[in-house]
Amino acid sequence: MNILAIDPGSTSTKIGVFTQGEMIHAGMDHDRSLIDSFSEVHEQEEMRFACITEELEKRGLGTARFDAVVGRGGLVRPVTGGVYRVCDNLLSDLKTGASGSHASNLGGILARRFAVTSGCEAFIVDPVVVDELNDVARLSGLAGIERKSIFHALNQKAVARRVAEERGGSYHQAHLIVAHMGGGVTVGAHKKGRVIDVNNGLNGDGPYAPERSGSLPVEGIVSALKEGRYTPDTLVRTVSRQGGIFSYLGIVDLREVERLMEEGDAEAILVWGGMVYQIAKEIGGLAAAMDGQVDAVVLTGGMAHSRRLTEAITEKIEFIADVVVVPGEFELEALADGALRVLRGEEEAKEYEIR
In the predicted structure, residue 1 carries a pLDDT above the cut 90: no
Mean pLDDT of 4-16: 93
Report which secondary-structure segment, H or E, holds 25. Answer: strand 22-29
Residues 196 and 311 in one domain: yes
Is 142 within the bounds of a domain?
A: no
Residues 111 and 184 in one domain: no
Residues 54 and 194 in one domain: no
Residue 10: pLDDT band (50, 70, 90) is confident
Domain residues for the domain of 99 are 3-129+332-343
Residue 154: pLDDT band (50, 70, 90) is very high
Residue 93: pLDDT band (50, 70, 90) is very high
Residue 241: pLDDT band (50, 70, 90) is confident
CA gap 94, 108 in Å, rounded: 7
Residues 185 and 309 in one domain: yes
pLDDT score for 100: 86
Residue 303: pLDDT band (50, 70, 90) is very high
Residue 21: pLDDT band (50, 70, 90) is confident
Cβ neighbours of residue 74 closer than 8 Å, sequence gap 6 or more? 94, 97, 102, 103, 104, 105, 106, 107, 108, 124, 127, 128
Average pLDDT of the chain to the nearest whole number: 95
Is 351 within the bounds of a domain?
A: no
* DSSP states along 213-272: --S--HHHHHHHHHTTS--HHHHHHHHHHS-HHHHHHS---HHHHHHHHHTT-HHHHHHH
The size of the chain, in residues, is 355
Tell me which residue of 326, 344, 332, 328 sits closest to 160, measured CA to CA: 326
pLDDT digits (tens, 9 = 90+) for 171-186: 999 999 999 999 899 9
353, burial (CB in 10 Å: exposed 0-12, middle 13-18, buried 19+): exposed
Residues 306 and 186 in one domain: yes
pLDDT score for 137: 98
Mean pLDDT of 37-55: 94
Residues 159 and 48 in one domain: no
User: Does residue 123 contact residue 85 with C-beta atoms inside 8 Å?
Assistant: yes
Residues 298 and 209 in one domain: yes
CA gap 185, 201 in Å, rounded: 6
Residues 121 and 23 in one domain: yes
In the predicted structure, residue 355 carries a pLDDT above the cut 80: no
In the predicted structure, residue 38 carries a pLDDT above the cut 90: yes
Residue 354: pLDDT band (50, 70, 90) is confident
pLDDT score for 102: 86
Mean pLDDT of 234-262: 94
pLDDT score for 46: 96
Quote the number of domains for the chain.
2
Which CATH number is 195's domain given? 3.30.420.40
User: Does residue 176 contact residue 295 with C-beta atoms inside 8 Å?
Assistant: yes
In the predicted structure, residue 18 carries a pLDDT above the cut 90: yes
Residues 54 and 171 in one domain: no
Is 350 within the bounds of a domain?
A: no
pLDDT digits (tens, 9 = 90+) for 324-335: 999 998 999 999
In the predicted structure, residue 230 carries a pLDDT above the cut 90: yes
pLDDT score for 36: 87
Residues 87 and 157 in one domain: no
Report which secondary-structure segment, H or E, holds 152. Answer: none
Mean pLDDT of 30-38: 90
